Amino acid sequence: MADEKKQVLQETVEHMESMLSNNQKFEAKSSWDCVLLSRQSGRPGAKAFISMICDQFMELHGDRSYGDDPAMIGGIGTVEGRAITFIGNRKGANFRENVSCNYGMSNPEGYRKALRLAKQAEKFGRPVVCFIDTPGAYPGLGSEERGIGQAIAQNLKVFSTLKTPVLCFIIGEGGSGGALGIGIGDKLYMLENAVYSVITPEGFASILLRDPSKAKEAAEAMKMTSHHLKEFGVIHDIIEEKSPEETARLIKETIIRDLDNLCSKPPEHLVRYRLKKIRGIGEVSGGKEWWQPLLEVFAKTQSFR
């Protein structure tokens, strides 16, 4: 089974590399394709997009409590003369950076740094832009000892009532509470081949289907792609993926357009409609219920009792 998974992954990687070498766009044919694309090595991360979008950027460090987390990047940038606080998960661009940034899995100090910068932005009237790209928060012993659950919960509370515009972009993996920790805003966008879910397909398959090899089937049942989530009303819109520079340009245009609108609204209105949007997620009316695909997957596995 491991050899079969390795072969499928290798074929997908070769296909993507072939398309990219010919300057063609890779079209994801399934949810599993999107999962692989969202994890693709060399995919532009938060740091790359910030550098392409901002005229100037000054990175800020530390949570003023424990230390600095390299898996979370944050600072102040200017976009066409407007000062914006940028916050994002950082995976790293190569193996050395991947290890240094813990593959984008932040510790509590990362989320407390994000919280500090968000509060600072609110104090000085700066909008906040968040780039999400993480498989989840780091579940290690030290992370738990320093209160990772409390740090994420505090971010959920504060970001939901922040009296300044907040825009969120899922640019790769949007996994679990690690994504939610900087994913509460006035508008939520996804890149075309990004994914967003409460757990990875491998974790879903292991826990609910009792078979890790069924990750492909799990990805389809979870409805975790940008097109599914737009249909459900979880995200506002999908940003088409082209070259990194062109994708950054589309993100920049979205930021400028939305901030021109949101910055003109009273802070109380922003909070009111943000809370209304959050509370509206999960409402289902008519058509095929969201949980029916899950039951169909369960019915196909003999190991689920």
Is pLDDT of 14 > 60?
no
Q: Which residues contact 113 (CB under 8 A, 6 or more apart)?
A: 60, 61, 62, 63, 68, 69, 72, 74
Q: Please indicate, yes or no, if residue 138 is contained in any of the structural domains.
A: yes
Quote the crossing angle between the two packed helices 148-160 and 267-280, to the nearest 10°. Answer: 120
- Supply the pTM of this predicted model: 0.84
Q: Give the per-residue pLDDT at 280.
A: 85
CATH classification at residue 49: 3.90.226.10
What whole-number distance in Å separates Cα of residue 68 and Cα of residue 66?
Answer: 7
Is 41 within a domain? Answer: yes
More confident residue, 28 or 216: 216
- Among residues 236, 253, 40, 46, the alpha carbon closest in space to that of 131 is found at 46
- What are φ and ψ of residue 83, in 5° steps? -80, 130
Residue 7: pLDDT above 60?
no
Q: Which residue's entry shows tokens 């409390």?
A: 150
- Give mean pLDDT, residues 268-276: 93
Span 246-256, mean pLDDT?
97
**Confidence band (pLDDT; 50, 70, 90) for 285?**
low
Cβ atoms < 10 Å from Cβ of 230: 15
Does residue 69 lie in a domain region?
yes
Residue 304: inside a domain: no
Between the alpha carbon of residue 99 and those of residues 89, 117, 172, 272, the distances in Å are 14, 25, 18, 40
Q: Is residue 20 part of a domain?
A: no
Query: Is the pLDDT confidence value at 137 over 90?
Result: yes
Report, as an integer, the average pLDDT of 127-152. 95
Convert the pLDDT of each residue in 151-210 to its tens digit. Answer: 999 999 999 999 999 999 999 999 889 999 999 999 999 999 999 999 999 989 999 888
Q: Confirm whether 18 is domain-assigned.
A: no
Establish if 150 belongs to a structural domain.
yes
Residues 214-227, mean pLDDT to the nearest whole number: 91
Instruction: State which of 93-97, 98-102, 203-207, 246-250 shows the largest mean pLDDT.
Output: 246-250
- pLDDT above 90 (res 269): yes
- Quote the CA–CA distance of 94 and 52 in Å, as a whole number: 19
Own/partner contacts of 137-142, CB < 8 Å, gap of 24 or more, are 137/105, 137/106, 137/107, 137/111, 137/176, 137/177, 137/178, 137/181, 138/71, 138/102, 138/105, 138/106, 138/107, 138/178, 139/105, 140/107, 142/107
Q: Is 22 within the bounds of a domain?
A: no
5, pLDDT greater than 60:
no
Please write the tens of the pLDDT for every residue from 32-70. Answer: 999 999 998 889 999 999 999 999 999 999 999 999 999
Q: Is the pLDDT of residue 305 over 50?
A: no
Q: Tokens standing for 267?
A: 């802070």
Residue keyed to tokens 């993100």: 251
Could you please report the per-residue DSSP string of 73-84? EEEEEEETTEEE
Number of domains in the chain: 1
pLDDT category, 76, cuts 50, 70, 90? Answer: very high
pLDDT higher than 50, residue 19: no
For position 293, what pLDDT does the model report?
A: 59
Q: What phi and psi, each to the nearest 5 degrees, are found at residue 192?
A: -55, -40
Question: Quick one: which of 117, 158, 157, 114 has its CA closest to 137?
Answer: 114
DSSP string, 143-171: HHHTTHHHHHHHHHHHHHT-SS-EEEEEE
Residue in 85, 78, 83, 60 with CA at minimum distance from that of residue 70: 60
pLDDT for position 156: 96
User: Is it the case that residue 247 has pLDDT exceeding 50?
Assistant: yes
Q: Is 70 exceeded by the pLDDT of residue 86?
A: yes
Q: Which of 104-108, 131-135, 200-204 has the lowest mean pLDDT?
A: 200-204
CA distance linking residue 193 with residue 12, whole number of Å:
14
Question: What mean pLDDT do residues 17-33 have?
Answer: 61
The pLDDT score that the predictor gives to residue 208 is 86
What letter represents residue 101's amino acid?
A: C
Q: Which domain holds residue 107?
A: 28-281
| Percent of the chain whose pLDDT exceeds 70 | 83
Candidates 97, 95, 65, 237; CA nearest to 167 is 237
With b for 16 or more beta-carbon neighbours within 10 A and e for fewer, the 44-66 pattern comes to bbbbbbbeebbeebeebeebeee
